[in-house]
Amino acid sequence: MKRLLGAEDLYKIQSVSNPQISPNGDEAVFIRTEIDEKDNKYYAQLFHVQLTTGVISQWTFGKERISSPKWSQDGQQVAFLSNRDEKNQLYVMNKNGGEAKKVTTLDSGVNSFLWDPSGQKVWISSKIKSGKTITDKTEKEENPLPKPYVVDGMKYKMDGLDGAGLVPQDSYSQIAVLDLKDESIEQFTTGDYQHSLQAISPDGKKLVIGVNRADNLDFVFKSPLLLIDIETKEEITIVDENGYYGGAAFSYDGRYIAFAGSDHAYKNATHSTIYIYDVEGKTTLSLTENIDSPVGDYAVADIQQGVSAPSVVWTEANELYFQMSTMGDVRLYYATLDGAIYPASPEGEHIYEYAVTKDGKFAIIAVSNPTFPGELYYYEIAAGERKQLTHFNDQFIQDVELVQPEEISYHVSDGSTVYGWLMKPAGFEEGKKYPLIVEIHGGPHTMYANTFFHELQLLAAKGYGVLYVNPRGSHGYSQAFVDAVRGDYGGGDYTDIMSGLDYAISQNDWIDTDKLGVTGGSYGGFMTNWIVGHTNRFKAAVTQRSISNWISFFGVSDIGYYFSDWQIGSDMLDPEKLWEHSPLKYAKNIETPLLILHSEKDFRCPIEQAEQLYITLKSMKKEVGFVRFPDNNHNLSRTGTPNLRIERLNQIVQWFEKYI
């Protein structure tokens, strides 16, 4: 008999990612990430699979995190990044055995790399202090005195950075080339700008890099891509428009460069598109502009680790593959240069990683669905047939009772259709009444999807039904739908969620309407705050990493000064509108017992947002709790310190158990 899922099952679920097929198509490498409960850390190891036999072998075993494995062009070596010596450095391993060789010892480590087609060199990017070269060594001070951080510019901090979240001063990402014969490094880019390494041409003569050379980046929101002749350093601009562009890849014949990007028409709500740049004709076309869904993976989940799917992959026949988020799925899509585009994988699942052979006959895909954490599959694309390659989560699936959610849809006030899912409690019995929790995703420009979500399964295991929907503002649907939340936070999105609750209740007599709870994080935390300030239907609420006050958010968030304008349509010249959309304004209306969860080092929604809400509610003698999580950022629920992730889940469950 299967057991119920627990919070500690996070330690048992393993994440499989980064499939990389060898040039001959006979073998592949990939990454498996697991949580070491004793060390309270994530470890990621390199694995190899022989595709003809299915035999899997582990290639690395240290207490480290391996990332970004890549085959050399001749298929004899694999390079990867490892933090085994604290900073990420580049290692090269012979596929026929032997210890991986560390080939860089850079002060700031290696951010990214690309094999040169010759197989004798590797292109790398690394942070370098202004006025220094990539090979300069910084002498460590024995007893360094504290130094002030002199703020210059508005983008001076960032959530997720080590330490205090402050962007390192006078430090710039530069590109260099490493000669594997003598391990010498020659710096390629210069200047006090951030350079990103994008792609190298098949003949090894041209690089695609990203760099923005504007003097002041405070209100610059673009990422130009340049095509550079390696010998002459002559530059050709591929794209230099407002928006975000990257993930470049050369076609095998070197004629075309594909990349993903989104313009600034709807700010950060704009659908991402695949673009094709013709190197000879110097023209660009938008390949997917007629499809009203975003390219890429916008699914929210909490178990996949170290995922870095390519934006686009070419075949030798100049066909392309890419991910698209559509109707709650993340599917693999196929396209040709003459505009033929169609899905290359089924509905009802989340393809969160993929690799395709040069001939386009098969792929390795990493697949998850609501009752399946994720494994790698060998996928014959034309036949639509797949064979499971990895089985790291078999024992977990065999041991634990998991709930299959039911897909729902309903019409809302503006005539749109909203889609979502309803999970019954584990062990559901007909004729019994059960409490229901409404979960709200962050973003808001992300989406719930047909993927495994440990937190949702945990609530079902604890005896709750779970309703989770994609209200207006969510990705995966039309451009008009994802844009509809901007300037209307707490308006149509609120009614979409409440209409979903009404619909679920009308269709399911097992829902106990006297025992409703609500929770969410980030935007979902904002919406939780908003909901309890506008209705007393819920018996308990848990708000996580939330926004409570748009006025203070403007100045304290790492993105506040522009995100507020993009999303609310206002700034400090019109604080009244910011206040109108702030849940704190409606604190006096809150009667629902509210638990506030927040990380100390959250620079996206800083903890002062939680502090304001907590003290305000306390001063009003409201029923409120506050839990602070040390040394974690905005991503606690997904990539945070393992034991604190468990404690966060326990706090949520305990609050609902107490008040529902």
Catalytic residue list: 522, 634
Which has the closest alpha carbon to 156: 558, 563, 553? 558
Q: Collect all residues with Cβ–Cβ distance below 8 Å to 269 and sequence separation of at least 6.
A: 445, 473, 482, 483, 485, 486, 566
SS3 content of the chain, % helix, strand, coil (to 5): 20, 35, 45
Q: How many other β-carbons are positioned within 10 Å of the β-carbon of residue 650?
A: 14
In whole angstroms, how far apart are CA 163 and each of 110, 604, 631, 638? 19, 15, 9, 19
Q: Is the dihedral of CA 635, 246, 70, 114 positive or negative?
A: negative
Bridge partner list, 94: 77
SS3 for 364?
strand
Tokens of residue 429, six digits? 């019995």
DSSP 140-194: PPSSPPP------SS--B-TT-STTSBPPTTEEEEEEEEETTTTEEEE---SSS-
- How does 167-199 read in b/e, with b if 16+ C-beta sit within 10 Å? eeeeebbbbbbbebeeeebeebbeeeebbbbbb
- How far apart CA 530 and CA 524 sit, in angstroms, is 10
Q: Collect all residues with Cβ–Cβ distance below 8 Å to 44 and sequence separation of at least 6.
A: 31, 32, 33, 34, 64, 65, 66, 67, 305, 306
Tokens of residue 102, six digits? 């560390």
- How far apart CA 476 and CA 418 sit, in angstroms, is 11
- How far apart CA 224 and CA 239 sit, in angstroms, is 5
Q: How many other β-carbons are positioned within 10 Å of the β-carbon of residue 463?
A: 17
- How far apart CA 116 and CA 81 sit, in angstroms, is 16
Pairing of strands 3-4, 400-401: parallel
Q: Collect all residues with Cβ–Cβ distance below 8 Å to 567 and sequence separation of at least 6.
A: 267, 485, 486, 487, 489
Tokens of residue 134, six digits? 């990539």
- How far apart CA 250 and CA 264 sit, in angstroms, is 25
- How does 269-295 read in b/e, with b if 16+ C-beta sit within 10 Å? bbbbbbbbbebeeeeeeebbeebebbb
- How far apart CA 366 and CA 634 sit, in angstroms, is 26
- How does 501-524 read in b/e, with b if 16+ C-beta sit within 10 Å? bebbbeebebbbeebbbbbbbbbb
SS3 for 390?
coil
Terminal Cα distance for the chain, rounded: 29
Instruction: Confirm if 56 and 98 have CB atoms less than 8 A apart.
Output: no
The two counts, helices (H) then strands (E), for the chain are 11, 38
- How far apart CA 336 and CA 256 sit, in angstroms, is 12
